């Protein structure tokens, strides 16, 4: 369903707490990559370093990754930051002996602050109460600190092109898909001002690849319809990749935002 006021997408029902684990069974983050996939990932990641490092300022000394998974981002930014303190929150599982960061219980988050840089890399769309989380994380920021957020865009050209077959319509795991206006409004309510950044063009291509895969595996469409939809999707992907950054922001598959506390 779509909010008429801000354009945010959300499902009409979500998993209950006792079925949430089932929703994440065999989720891609829990699957080990074969060696060849790890090599491909290294090649794909090479031109996206600023994004993968989440625009982390050189001067950030206390860094929190909320929804840290296995700690890949924190390991990435740990090099050359001998004086930095790195923290991670992972609500689904505890990380066994994390090498470079301190794992923080979500319930004790405020007591571990303040933080110079807090990141949420494709996390907020999974959270049942994003407003509460934005307020908590905003309050835990050090003066001049900021939140870095990456999340799917409800007004993505991919969702417009193929609807529920788009990768980011990931029911039942995604419970909010924010529009840019929707995310900005939520952060403003939490006392935060927002700066939007363009996502890497390669991210859109990777997302589109998964959309094509969804399209071809869907048995409800005859072959002729699939071919027509696949060609239309290729055209909109090409248009997006070739567009300038200001034009790409509006319908990018991904919102990348930096949010800081409003002063005064």
Residues 165-196: tens digit of each pLDDT: 999 998 888 999 999 999 999 999 999 999 99
Q: Which of 122, 142, 138 shows the shortest CA–CA distance to 57? A: 142
Q: Which two tokens stand for residue 93?
A: 């599982």
pLDDT for position 67: 92
pLDDT band at 264 (very low <50, low <70, confident <90, very high): low
Domains and CATH numbers, the chain: 48-154+164-199+252-261 (3.40.50.150)
Is 261 exposed, middle or buried (CB count within 10 Å of its CB: 0-12, 13-18, 19+)?
middle
pLDDT surpasses 90 at 37? no
Out of 69-73, 111-115, 153-157, which region has the weakest mean confidence (pLDDT)? 69-73
- For residues 36-40, average pLDDT: 77
Residues 202-218: tens digit of each pLDDT: 999 999 999 999 999 99
Out of 98-102, 206-210, 212-216, 221-225, which region has the weakest mean confidence (pLDDT)? 98-102
pLDDT for position 147: 98
Q: Which of 193, 174, 210 shows the shortest CA–CA distance to 259? A: 193
Q: Which of 211, 205, 243 shows the shortest CA–CA distance to 230? A: 211
> What is the DSSP secondary structure assignment for residue 246, as one 8-state letter?
H
Burial letters for 76-102: b for 16+ Cβ neighbours within 10 Å, e otherwise? ebbeeeeebebbbbbeeeeeeebeebe
Separation between Cα atoms, residue 70 and residue 81, nearest integer Å: 19
pLDDT surpasses 90 at 43? no
- Percentage above 70 pLDDT, the chain: 92
- For residues 218-243, average pLDDT: 93
pLDDT for position 204: 95
Q: Which two tokens stand for residue 36?
A: 């060849």
pLDDT surpasses 90 at 123? yes
């Amino acid at each position: 369903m779509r909010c008429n006021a801000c354009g945010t997408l959300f499902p009409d029902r979500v998993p209950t707490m006792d079925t949430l684990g089932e929703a994440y069974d065999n989720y891609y983050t829990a699957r080990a990559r074969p060696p060849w996939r790890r090599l491909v990932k290294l090649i794909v990641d090479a031109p996206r370093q600023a994004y993968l490092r989440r625009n982390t300022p050189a001067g950030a000394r206390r860094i929190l990754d909320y929804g840290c998974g296995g700690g890949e981002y924190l390991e990435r930014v740990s090099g050359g930051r001998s004086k930095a303190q790195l923290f991670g929150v992972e609500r689904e599982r505890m990380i066994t002996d994390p090498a470079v960061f301190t794992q923080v219980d979500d319930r004790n988050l405020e007591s571990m602050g303040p933080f110079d840089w807090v990141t949420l890399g494709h996390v907020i769309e999974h959270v049942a109460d994003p407003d509460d989380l934005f307020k908590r994380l905003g309050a835990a920021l050090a003066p001049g600190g900021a939140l870095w957020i990456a999340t799917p865009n409800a007004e993505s050209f991919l969702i417009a092109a193929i609807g529920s077959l788009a990768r980011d319509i990931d029911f039942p795991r995604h419970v909010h898909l924010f529009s840019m206006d929707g995310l900005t409004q939520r952060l403003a309510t939490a006392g935060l001002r927002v700066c939007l950044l363009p996502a890497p063009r390669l991210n859109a291509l990777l997302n589109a690849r998964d959309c094509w895969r969804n399209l071809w595996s869907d048995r409800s469409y005859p072959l002729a319809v699939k071919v027509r939809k696949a060609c239309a999707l290729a055209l909109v992907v090409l248009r997006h990749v070739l567009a300038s950054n200001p034009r790409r922001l509006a319908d990018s598959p991904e919102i990348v935002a930096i949010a800081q506390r409003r002063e005064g």
